[in-house]
Copies of this chain bind each other. A is one copy, B any other.
Amino acid sequence: MAIVYGGDYNPEQWPRETWAEDMRLMREAGVNRVSVGIFSWALFEPEEGRYEFAWFDEVLDLLAANGIEACLATPTASPPPWFAATYPEAVMVDADGRQLTHGSRQGFDPSSDVYIAKALQIAEKIAERYADHPAVGLWHLHNEYGCHNTRSYTKAATAKFRTWLRDRYGDLDGLNAAWGTAFWSQAYSSWDQVYAPLPTPTIPNPGHVVDWKRFSSWQLVQNYRAEAAVIRKYSDKPMTTNFMTGSHPEIDLWEFSGAVDIVSTDHYLAGEDPQAHVNLGFAADYARSLGAGKPWILMEHSTSAVNWQGRNRAKAPREMLRNSLAHFARGADAIMFFQWRASKQGAEKWHSGMVPHAGTDSKIWREVCELGATLKSLAEVEGSRVQAETAILWDFPNAWAQEHEARPTNEFTAQGIFDAYYAALWRAGITADVAEPEGDLSKYKFVVVPAVYLLSRKGAENLRQFVNGGGTVLVTPYSGIADETDTVYLGGYPGAFRDVVGVRSEEFYPLIGGRVELASGGHGTIWSEAAEPAGAEVRDTYADGTPAWLVNRFGAGTAHYLTTFPDPDTLDRIVAAAAVDAGVAAVAEAPVGVEVVRRAHDDGRSWLFCINHTDADATVKAAGVLIDVPAGEVVVHREHA
């Protein structure tokens, strides 16, 4: 099998004479799959109920004739202008209560029955017509669910939210208990009194808001499932939708990933961040973890600049090659771009493409061709897996709960803390999976718990068993504080597992100065606690002797507990110590900024991907071999004979 290579293809933006050139260039670059139809609803159905597919027949025939597989999309992410004009109330309402309008994309309310009906109708038309077309290899449902319109505060959403709550809590007593409505006179006596959380005079009820976020995420998964059911009537081919694993935690991907046949994701670099490749690593590891380790599809990334960041840096020479191969290294078996040809008009015309504005006499095109050839040469890697003994926890309701405005400090977010700990693992060269707090942790030796404030009793028990059974955890402040209804565990923090970490904190002291020195010479940031050891050994302290880092032996395992957020250098020391306790190590010895990841088949064949993000030539030392990796280059080292 070949590695899949290609991108989004939007031929409708170009005259027919360009299509022929597209086919020639795709073959030149080694493209073997393109995603089509994503934004074509307005052309498929220019007026409600009137369809025009002939132009698209031609596109698919061309692809088939050129041996290029079509990843065929349902175009339901972007309803046509007639939709909003006919059903203005089926467009989303934002958190401010504003009825939004057509004019961009995602102009719909996910809870709207009229939207859902129209979406299923166009999906069915497409499935019916193209299920058996020879070009079609898989289905791309919708596009980036949850981008821009996850939370739509319409009347339709309020109605479905009530039903969802009724299913969750059974009766109003359950709802009132879960949300703690005894305070502030919020007790509900009828389901009709519950609304989407539109603006209020002051702080909203946190239980209300986090359940709204759970519902909104759930609604989109339902929408996917409904489309999938329609497609399945006509086709047995695999279905997927493109997640956005590098950020954007408005939709619960643990829930969503259960609904797709294969995980796909999109990833875009934060152009200004010199360490943006670390976030890329996370996005890739996360996509892999969502599919339980199976190879996944990089549905979109960019050849160079994007258009939606305040300052959109073009990629440096060879940066795209490093990016693409880093995804591949972390388990992607399909490397695709948005989009084939850079648009010359519209909202995304400043987003780079495989064929740039400048044409084929360009750095971008030359690298696109080189990447196609490289992937072809690495076909044997296809289907191999990435192994990880370490996991870092991520939970969506936890992140959502921490978005609430009234908490000890607003200086950090769950995602920010997660990213800092993921980055520490990346710097340590430790390959990690992303895991759910309630998921199976038995295959890991080391688990990082980054600001998992909201932790269910089941999740807490899961971690307790993990440590008791010999695992090592590294727990940051503000973890294990409240249960799944955002109810604080009483008696001292972290109430969910004081016994596991052997610590009891009375109060939180967000740092006013921003930074505090530790006895070891390291530094803490943002946070401190009035913590006392309750069994744990104190490993580091603040100037006044209050513990900053404690280590507890619990059952057969070890828990590291921090009472501050260390700065990166200090954190690196702590992660190293905890990794030693856990018995996990880096994939290879490599200089800072040189990424090394292993892919391996079950039969023992394996490859080391060495990616040099630095300006200096480097040498990687792994399993007794020395691998030279020139500055800015990627070396794929075959470890087997």
The answer to whether A248 has its CB under 8 Å from any CB of chain B is no
Indicate which residue in B207, B312, B405, B410 contacts A409 across the interface (CB closer than 8 Å): B312
Query: Given A363-B507, A506-B362, do A346 and B104 touch, yes or no (CB 8 Å)?
Result: no
Query: Given A182-B12, A186-B42, do A364 and B507 touch, yes or no (CB 8 Å)?
Result: yes
Cα–Cα, bound, A304→B530 (Å)? 13
Residues A200 and B12 in contact, CB atoms below 8 Å apart: no
B-chain residues with CB within 8 Å of residue A101 when the two chains form the complex: 195, 197-200
B-chain residues with CB within 8 Å of residue A39 when the two chains form the complex: 183-185
A394-420 Cβ-contact flags toward B at 8 Å (1 or 0) = 000000000001111111000000000
Cα–Cα, bound, A198→B92 (Å)? 13
Residues A408 and B346 in contact, CB atoms below 8 Å apart: no
Query: Given A100-B199, A102-B195, A311-B510, do A485 and B42 touch, yes or no (CB 8 Å)?
Result: no
A93-121 Cβ-contact flags toward B at 8 Å (1 or 0) = 01011111111111100000000000000
Cα–Cα, bound, A42→B190 (Å)? 12
Residues A181 and B347 in contact, CB atoms below 8 Å apart: no
The answer to whether A521 has its CB under 8 Å from any CB of chain B is no
The answer to whether A264 has its CB under 8 Å from any CB of chain B is no
Cα–Cα, bound, A493→B410 (Å)? 44
Of chain B, the residue at the smallest CB distance from A272 is B512
Query: Given A201-B92, A347-B183, A490-B357, do A406 and B308 touch, yes or no (CB 8 Å)?
Result: yes
B-chain residues with CB within 8 Å of residue A410 when the two chains form the complex: 310-311
B-chain residues with CB within 8 Å of residue A185 when the two chains form the complex: 39-43, 75, 78-80, 105
The answer to whether A586 has its CB under 8 Å from any CB of chain B is no
Of chain B, the residue at the smallest CB distance from A43 is B187
The answer to whether A322 has its CB under 8 Å from any CB of chain B is no
Residues A80 and B187 in contact, CB atoms below 8 Å apart: yes
Indicate which residue in B105, B271, B307, B506 contacts A184 across the interface (CB closer than 8 Å): B105
B-chain residues with CB within 8 Å of residue A411 when the two chains form the complex: 310-311
The answer to whether A423 has its CB under 8 Å from any CB of chain B is no
Cα–Cα, bound, A314→B528 (Å)? 10
B-chain residues with CB within 8 Å of residue A202 when the two chains form the complex: 104-106, 147-148, 347
B-chain residues with CB within 8 Å of residue A195 when the two chains form the complex: 85, 101-103
Cα–Cα, bound, A405→B309 (Å)? 9
The answer to whether A169 has its CB under 8 Å from any CB of chain B is no
For A, the interface residue count at a CB cutoff of 8 angstroms equals 116
Which of A80, A192, A200 has the most chain B CB within a 10 Å cutoff?
Answer: A200
Cα–Cα, bound, A125→B460 (Å)? 46
Residues A206 and B305 in contact, CB atoms below 8 Å apart: no
Residues B187 and A81 in contact, CB atoms below 8 Å apart: yes
Cα–Cα, bound, A308→B408 (Å)? 8
Residues A304 and B200 in contact, CB atoms below 8 Å apart: no
Residues A364 and B102 in contact, CB atoms below 8 Å apart: no
B-chain residues with CB within 8 Å of residue A525 when the two chains form the complex: none
The answer to whether A376 has its CB under 8 Å from any CB of chain B is no
The answer to whether A254 has its CB under 8 Å from any CB of chain B is no
Residues B344 and A81 in contact, CB atoms below 8 Å apart: no
Residues A203 and B308 in contact, CB atoms below 8 Å apart: yes
Cα–Cα, bound, A85→B185 (Å)? 14
B-chain residues with CB within 8 Å of residue A218 when the two chains form the complex: none
Least CB distance from A185 to B in Å reads: 4
Residues facing B in A352-400 (CB within 8 A) are 352, 356-359, 361-364
Residues A406 and B348 in contact, CB atoms below 8 Å apart: yes
The answer to whether A486 has its CB under 8 Å from any CB of chain B is yes
Indicate which residue in B105, B182, B344, B345 contacts A179 across the interface (CB closer than 8 Å): B345
Cα–Cα, bound, A305→B491 (Å)? 17
B-chain residues with CB within 8 Å of residue A148 when the two chains form the complex: 201-202
Cα–Cα, bound, A192→B86 (Å)? 10
Of chain B, the residue at the smallest CB distance from A352 is B507
The answer to whether A217 has its CB under 8 Å from any CB of chain B is no
Residues A208 and B103 in contact, CB atoms below 8 Å apart: yes
The answer to whether A47 has its CB under 8 Å from any CB of chain B is yes
B-chain residues with CB within 8 Å of residue A203 when the two chains form the complex: 104, 308, 347-348
Of chain B, the residue at the smallest CB distance from A94 is B199
B-chain residues with CB within 8 Å of residue A362 when the two chains form the complex: 506-507
B-chain residues with CB within 8 Å of residue A439 when the two chains form the complex: none
Least CB distance from A126 to B in Å reads: 13
The answer to whether A470 has its CB under 8 Å from any CB of chain B is no
Least CB distance from A305 to B in Å reads: 7
The answer to whether A279 has its CB under 8 Å from any CB of chain B is no
Of chain B, the residue at the smallest CB distance from A505 is B358
Residue pairs across A and B with Cβ atoms less than 8 A apart, 28 shown, are: A40-B185, A42-B186, A42-B189, A47-B190, A80-B187, A81-B187, A82-B190, A101-B197, A102-B200, A103-B200, A105-B184, A105-B185, A107-B200, A148-B201, A148-B202, A180-B345, A181-B346, A183-B343, A203-B347, A272-B512, A311-B408, A311-B410, A311-B510, A312-B408, A312-B409, A312-B510, A313-B509, A357-B491
Instruction: Beyond A345-B486, A350-B406, list 6 extra A-B contacts (CB 8 Å).
Output: A42-B187, A94-B201, A100-B200, A356-B507, A357-B488, A359-B491
